[in-house]
A and B are shown apart, each in its own frame.
Chain A
Amino acid sequence: MFSSYMLSVITLICINVVAVTGLALLTGFTGLFSFGHSGFMSIGAYAAAILFVKFNVPYWAVLLLGGVAACMVSGIMYPTLRLKGDYFAIAALGFGESVRLIMDNGGNLTGGARGFGGMPTLTKWPGALLVAALALILMRNIIRSRFGRTLIAIREDKIAAQSMGINVARNQYFALAISAFYCGVAGAMFAFFMTYLQPMMFDVAKSTELSSSVVFGGIGSLSGSVIAAVILTAIPEIFRPLMQWRMVFYGLALVLTIVIKPTGLMGSKELSFSFAKQFVRKITSASKRGSRGESKPKGKK
C-alpha cells in the first residue's frame, strides 16, 4: 500500500518530530532561540554510530547513549544562559559549527570529512513511530509538571519569575539539557537511517530548520510543533520541482507568521478533540443573533 519511499519519508518525519519536540521545550516553552541544535544531533549520531560499529553496543542502547552524550556536552553552553537570549543564540551558532569542526578533525575515530559508514538500516518506520510517540508522551508530562510551568513563567517575564525565587539560569539549563537529549536521540536514529554520516549533514541550515518548525507550529504548543515538523518534512518532497523557491517561501512564511500571528499556527493551544468541538460550537452559535456569552474553558486538554 505504501511505497518504500513513502515509508522512508514517514521515518524521516518521526526523526524530525523527536528533535523538534525537544526544541519545543527550549524555544517554545522557555523562550530561548537556538541556532545550533544540529550540533546535538551530530553528537548523538556519531556517538551512536561509533558505539555500534566499533564497540558492538546494541541499537536501542546506542539511541539512548547518543542522547546522553549530547546532554552531557550541552553543559558548555551554561555560561551563556546568565545573559540575554541573543548571547545564547549566537553562542549556539558557534557551538553547532564547533561540533562540526570537531567531527571533521576526528581522524580515524569519526572518519573526518570522508565520513563514517557501516551502519545497517535499523531505523525503520515502526521503531521510529514508537520512539516519536514515547518522546511526545514524555514531553507532554514534562510540560504539565511544575517544572514546565516554571519555564513558562520564565518565558513570560524573567524578572517576575526571579522575584518569585525561581533560579532562572538553572531552569533554562535543564530545558537546554533535555532538548539536547532529544536531539541526540534523533541524531542517533538518523545515523541508522542514512547508514552513512558526514559532518556536513549537520549544518546551520538544519539547525535553523528545526528551530523554525517550533515557531511555525506555535510557541507554546506541542502539537503545533509536531504538525509543523510533519509539514516541513513532507512539503519538500511534494514540491520537489520548486526546490529553489522552497527556501524563499519558507523565509517569507517565517516573517509573516511572526509579524501577523506571533504565536504561530496553533497559538499556545493544543490540538484536541474538545477544541475542535468547541470551535464548531462557536461558529454555529455566532451565526445566531446574540451569542449567549458562555465562557467555555479554553484549549488545553
Chain B
Amino acid sequence: MSDLHLIGALPLWGVAVIALAVLALLVQHFIRLRQRLGLGQTAILTALRACVYGALIFFLLGPALIDKRVTKLRRPLTLLIDTSQSMSFPANAKSISGDKGAKSRLDLVKEKLEAGSQPLIQRLSRNYDLRVIRFGTGLEPIAPGSLDRLRAADPGTRLMELVQRAARDGAARSGIVLFSDGIANGEIKSLNGTALAAPVFAVGVGDTEGFTDLRIARLGAPEFAFRGREFKIELTVQAYGLKGKSVPLLFNRGKNLISTRSIAIDADPFEQKITLSFTPKDLGTHVFSVSLPAQPGEQIAQNNQKEFKVDVRRDKIRVLTLSGSPAWNYRFLRMAMKQDPLIELVSFVFLRTPTDTVDVPENQLSLIPFPIDDIFLEELKNFDLVLFDDFSYRAYFNPVYLERVRDFVRDGGGLAMFGGARAFDSGGYGDSALREVLPVELDGKGSYQARGPLQAALTAAGRKHPITRLLPDPKSNEETWAKLPPLTGMNQVHAVRGETLLTANDGAPLLAIGRYGKGRTLALMSDDAWRWNFIAVGNRETPQNHLKLIRQAVRWLAQEPAFEQVQLYPIPTAQPAEKVAIKLKVLNDDFTPARQASIQLRVISPEGEPTLISTSPDGEEGEYSGDFTPTREGTYQVEAEASAGGKALGRNKSSFSVAFSYGETDDGLPRPDLLKQIAEASKGEYLSIDDWNDKTFDKIAARLETIAPSEIVEQRQTRLWSNLWPFGVILILLSAEWWMRRKWGLI
C-alpha cells in the first residue's frame, strides 16, 4: 500500500507566501476580467487560472507516493550462565548448605529458564538467534536443551574478562543476559569505565540480605619453618549475619589439636585478624589446618576451614653424644661440633661410674641423672644423630633401650660409634640390638688394643667419599691423609658390613660406613681421632682436617641434602590438569653421578592412591625426570628410590601442592555491585533473580528494542512531479482558458 507524502524541499512558509501572492494575482485577474465579461464567464476563467496556480503550488510541495515494506529480524541474544563453584552455594538464606534439596544458585537459574508450560528457554530459542554459553574460567557454548546437565564446577570466575569477550564476539544488535552471583576472581577485578560492545542485562543470583557465613580469609603461613623455632600464621576471620555469637577457632596439625581460641562476633559484617603460632618439633612436611565449626543457618560451610602445609626443616643438625668418660676425644669432638653453627650438640659425659665413690653429699656434685626414659622414649626422635663415644650401655641402662636406637636408625636417624675400651665388642654391643645396625660385624671376640703407631690410609671408596674428602683434589687429599698423625689404639672388629673408608697400616678397618633401614651408620674403630687435631697442631699443621672430618661425618649421617644420594628437586605449586615435571639427581656411593641408575618414582595422591612414574635420564649426568599430571587439588607426596647394579643407592621424599589459584569458594557473598557495574558500562540493566517473573523478559526485550529495533523497513518512493502528468494537466487547463478567452472575444 502506497501513501502520499509531500517531500518537497520548499518550506511551508514559502508555500504560504506564494499562495498569498497567487491569491492576490487571482483577485486582480478577476477584477480585470469583470470589466469586460459577465460574472459567470469571469468566474470560470478565474477558476481555471486558480486550478493552474493550485497545481503549480501542489507540485512545488513535492508530492510523492511512498510504498513501505516492514521485515522482522531474529535478534541475536546471548545467555551467559555462570557455572563456577560459587554457583553451587545456596541461593538464599532459606536454602542452607548441606540440607538435602537445598536450592543452589545455579538451580535457581535453571528453574527460571526451564519452569512452566512454556519455558523461557524455548521461547527464546524460538524468537531469537539464541546462543547459550556457560562460563567460569572460560567460555563454552552449550545447546539450549542441555541446561539440565550444567554443574557448578568451574574452579574460578573470570567474570569481567569473559563478559567483555562475549560482548565483543556477539553479532550486531545482540544483547546479553548474564546470570551470575557476581563473584569475580579473574585478573580483572573491575571494568574501570570500560564500555561494553553489547547491552548486558545482568541478573544477580544469590541473596546478600540474610547472607550468613563464617569464613577464614587471607591465611598467611610460611612455606617452611625451622624445627624448634616458633613460626606464626596470620589469618582473617570474617562473618556475615552472625552478630552476637561466639565461635571457637581450632588450630590442628593433621588430626591433632594444637590450640583453640574463642572469637566473639560483635559486628555485622565482622572481620578480625588473628595470629597463631606453633613450634614444630618434627622434621618433614606437615599439614596444618585452621577451622571454624559450621554455624546454624550458615550458607557455606566449605570456607570454614583452610589447610596449609609447612615444610619443617632443621636449622641445625641435632646430635646426641654419650661419652663413657671425660676424654680428649670428647674434648676435640666437642670443639669440632660447637664451632659448627649447623650443629646443635647435646652431650652426656659419664663423669662417674657406679664403682666410683664420692666424698661429699650428692648435692655438692654437679652430676645430673642421665634421663634415660626422656632420652630414649621421648626425645630420641628429635635428634638427627646419636653418637656413642667410647660408651658402654652396660653400666647405665638396660639393653632394651638400644632397640629404640635401632628403630631410630631404621626410621632415618644416624648412628655413629667411636672406639675405645667401652665400644664395639668391648662395650657389649655384639649382644645388643645395635649389632645388626652397625656397619661392622661383631663376634664378641674383638677387643680394644693400645698399639701404634697406626697410620690411617684411604681405601678406594674413601678416596671419593664426602666424609673423607678433606681436599677437593684427590691427590692432595691422599697426601693430607698420609700426613695426619698416627693413632695409638684400635678396636678389632670381625668384618665390615658396609663400606670401609679408612684402614690402619696393618689393613684393619678404621672407619666404616653403612646403612640400616632409612638411616646411616658410621663406625670409627679408635678413641684417638683427637690426635689428628692436636698432634697436628704440635706438628705445625692445621687442626682443620680433624674438624672437617667430624663435621662432614655429621652431615652425611644426618643426611643433609647435599649428602643425599637421591636428591629430589623442589616442585612448585601446580594446578589440576597441569603437567608437573619431577626431577631428581642420583649419586653413586662414591658420590659420582649415577648414569645408569634404576629409578622407582611414585606419586601418592591426597587420597593415598599411588601412581608409578616412568623416568628418563636428563641432559645433566645423574639427573632424571618424569612427568605427572594431577587431577585434583591437594598435597601429593613424591617418593623416589634409586639403585644401581642391584645395590640400593638411597631414597628420598618430597611433596608438592596442587591448587587452583582462584580461591573460588573462599567468599560466597554475592556481588551485585559488580553486576551493576557491568550493566551500567554496557547501557544494559541490573535486576535481581528474585524479581524475575514471566513478564521480565518482555521488559528486557522492550528495552532491547529501544536500544536497537529488530525490524527492517523498506520504502519505494514515486515522485509525482517528475513525470509528464502534471505538465499535461496544467497544459490542458491553460489550453481550456485560452479557448474560452478566444470564444469570448478576449483574444
Partners in one complex: no
Please list the residues of chain B having a beta carbon within 8 angstroms of any beta carbon in chain A.
none
Which residues of A are at the interface with B, using a C-beta cutoff of 8 A? none
